[in-house]
Amino acid sequence: MTIRAHQKLLLTGAAGGLGQALRERLKANCSVLRLSDRVAFGVAGAGEEVVLADLADAAAVDAMVQGVQAIVHLGGVSVEGPFGPILQANILGLYNLYEAARKHGVQRVVFASSNHVTGFYRQSETINADAPARPDGLYGVSKAFGEDLSRFYFDRYGIETACVRIGSSFPEPKDRRMLATWLSFDDLHRLVTACLTTPVLGHSIVFGMSDNAVTWWDNSRARHIGYAPQDSSDIFREAVYARTPAPDLNDPAVQFQGGGFVKAGPFAD
């Protein structure tokens, strides 16, 4: 069940793949959905507002946040790459977002963190939210920073945050690794809804995954959020095995949970 808990909800990164997947779904969570990205992505539809903002522009972010009751933050660089853009969007941009939230009294944020915060754990391990961060690249480092920053804003200012370590959210798993990390679009919406509506969120880390038989992540530390995935990668397993070769166990992308990210770079700014 989707509860309309907020009058006006902000979705950043609305032009991205997950932003597009959530755009229609999140309208059930609010009366007005404010959509934002740094580039033009079309006009507002019924029940929508569109605000263009570069996350590195503090004034633009302040205006973007004004008047909303909660934020679903998907904006920023979403892949491994040069540090300059990651610094501007994922580090400075997130600081700008939390400062704007503090100034305007926003009390709840759903922050799109990433499984790449813990990408250097092995695929033979199962970890929970208490496991120390082991980022697999600069992108993962920026998301680890975001988790720490959001913890500070909770401890100092009481802004509740769910740090959602998103696995691999696509229409279906693309390879064998994604049999463990897959998150369906509908389960993503269920997870975001749970984070927005649980009575007491606090500062929580939750792994963004569907109900997959193979998994490296234990979500027991986030039971209070009430997320109950309904989809599973298992229905795709036979097809994935048929179209992909057996894994090379000497390949770091197979050894570690971060997959190919553990081998990416270095990059020149």
Active site residues: 139
* Residue whose pair of structure tokens reads 């920026």 in the numeric block: 142
Three-state SS letters, 62-90: HHHHCCCCEEEECCCCCCCCCHHHHHHHH
Calculate helix-pair angle for 93-104, 58-65, nearest 10 degrees.
40
Phi, psi (deg, nearest 5) at residue 109: -130, 135
Q: In Å, how far from its chain's centre is CA 31?
A: 23
Could you tell me the end-to-end alpha-carbon distance of the chain, in angstroms, rounded to an integer? 45
Q: Between the CA atoms of 147, 148, 150 and 154, what dihedral angle is there, to the nearest 10 degrees?
A: 130
For residues 249, 231, 174 and 167, what is the CA-based torsion angle, rounded to 10 degrees?
-70
167 three-class SS: coil
Structural contact between residues 195 and 163, judged by C-beta atoms closer than 8 angstroms:
no
DSSP conformation class of 218: E
Cα distances (Å, whole numbers) of residue 207 to 217, 224, 227: 7, 13, 10
